[in-house]
């Protein structure tokens, strides 16, 4: 028999009000601060995201402050959090809010989804927590709670399963204090109904959890088989001139858009590192280089790709660098590196320059 909606609601609400962590975005109804917290926590744990949340607000305390900032300033404050599309969309949306909504976020989940970077989950979180709208949320933690609570054996990520999860979440969220319930079910997934070794004895809904009754907790949620993450060998050129180094800004769209980096590229099959560097510098910068010594070889993992960056000092022997693939090139002294937002992979060798 399916769990009672009323019983689940009451148990999660009571547990959350008793056990909720003391977090800064829970002491406010400011939609901007709630929005910022939700964006940061989309791909980041609370303990990792909290310092970034505080530093970001220190730099941009209001939507208007964020809207008036440059993209470089925003990306620098976001540096280290990864998934930089979040920061760029946050910035773009702030400019829309400032220009078209008088600095106030729309108050419904439907209208919030019209802003750049705000999807169904983020819109539901903002609308329910800041404005009291009866809007559901479904993130990874909620999926785990629901698939165990209802013992769902269909793989998450499939269209029909996702539709069922949103339907269940929508039925559970109450009309009174919907934000508390949404925060409660997310917190339950983060702290109790964890991916491994869930604390069923300490769970407020254990008595009505179908997976608990059937002993299938470890099998929920069902996931499709993971794909093998490919590995790519890369080369990076460290080109110096009078104590400054050549860096380029990545195009705004795409992976790591808007960040600064040292020029480089993929090693093609059959190429040596030296041949790859000569080709990359010719194609990306319009210059001929002589490859010198190896500075470092560092590894870095993205969600979809693992890379090894082989970093070499290079001297220009012909031509002047032109931004063929970068949106902009600059010569920067090491003392100025802190003014630029670099990808994490570049940070692994910056201190060697």
Residues annotated as catalytic are 38
Q: Which two tokens stand for residue 277?
A: 């560097």
Instruction: Show the CA angle centred on residue 189, arms to residues 183 and 192, nearest 5°.
Output: 115
Distances (CA, A) of 261 to 73, 127, 163, 317, 340: 16, 38, 41, 21, 9
Q: How far apart are CA 205 and CA 74, in angstroms?
A: 41
Q: Which two tokens stand for residue 127?
A: 């609308």
Write down the H helix ranges in the chain: 5-19, 31-41, 46-59, 63-68, 71-78, 85-100, 109-112, 120-131, 140-149, 159-172, 178-191, 210-214, 273-285, 344-350
Q: Which two tokens stand for residue 350?
A: 């910056």
Q: How far apart are CA 263 and CA 98, in angstroms?
A: 36
Q: How far apart are CA 292 and CA 18, in angstroms?
A: 62
Write down the H helix ranges in 134-222: 140-149, 159-172, 178-191, 210-214
* Phi-psi map region of 13: left, alpha, beta (phi>0 left; psi -120 to 50 alpha): alpha
Q: How far apart are CA 192 and CA 28, in angstroms?
A: 25
Query: 94 Cβ partners below 8 Å, 6+ apart?
Result: 63, 64, 66, 67
């Amino acid at each position: 028999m399916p769990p009672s909606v009323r019983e689940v609601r009451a148990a999660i609400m009571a547990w959350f009000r008793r056990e909720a962590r003391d977090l800064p975005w829970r002491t406010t109804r400011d939609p901007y601060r709630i929005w910022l917290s939700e964006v940061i926590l989309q791909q980041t744990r609370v303990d990792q995201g909290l310092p970034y949340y505080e530093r970001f607000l220190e730099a941009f305390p209001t939507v208007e402050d964020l809207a008036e900032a440059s993209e470089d300033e925003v990306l620098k404050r976001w540096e280290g959090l990864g998934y930089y599309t979040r920061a760029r969309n946050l910035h773009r949306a702030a400019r829309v809010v400032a220009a078209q909504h008088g600095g106030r976020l729309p108050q419904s989940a439907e209208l919030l989804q019209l802003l750049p970077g705000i999807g169904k989950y983020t819109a539901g979180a903002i609308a329910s927590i800041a404005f009291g709208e009866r809007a559901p949320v479904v993130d990874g933690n909620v999926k785990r709670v629901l698939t165990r609570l209802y013992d769902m054996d269909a793989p998450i990520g499939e269209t029909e399963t996702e539709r069922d999860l949103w339907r269940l979440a929508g039925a559970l969220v109450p009309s009174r204090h919907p934000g508390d319930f949404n925060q409660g079910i997310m917190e339950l997934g983060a702290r109790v109904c964890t991916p491994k070794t869930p604390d069923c004895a300490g769970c407020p809904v254990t008595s009505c959890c179908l997976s608990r009754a059937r002993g299938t907790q470890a099998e929920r949620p069902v996931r499709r088989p993971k794909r093998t993450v490919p590995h790519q060998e890369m080369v990076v050129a460290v080109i110096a001139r009078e104590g400054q180094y050549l860096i380029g800004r990545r195009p705004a769209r795409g992976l790591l858009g808007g960040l600064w980096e040292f020029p480089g590229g993929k090693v093609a099959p059959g190429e040596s590192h030296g041949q790859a560097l000569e080709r990359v510098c010719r194609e990306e910068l319009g210059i001929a280089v002589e490859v010198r010594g190896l500075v470092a070889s560092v590894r870095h993992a993205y969600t979809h790709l693992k890379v090894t960056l082989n970093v070499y000092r290079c001297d220009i022997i012909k031509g002047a660098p032109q931004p063929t693939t970068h949106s902009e090139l600059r010569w920067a002294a090491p003392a100025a590196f802190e003014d630029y937002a670099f990808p994490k992979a570049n940070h692994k060798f910056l201190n060697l320059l």
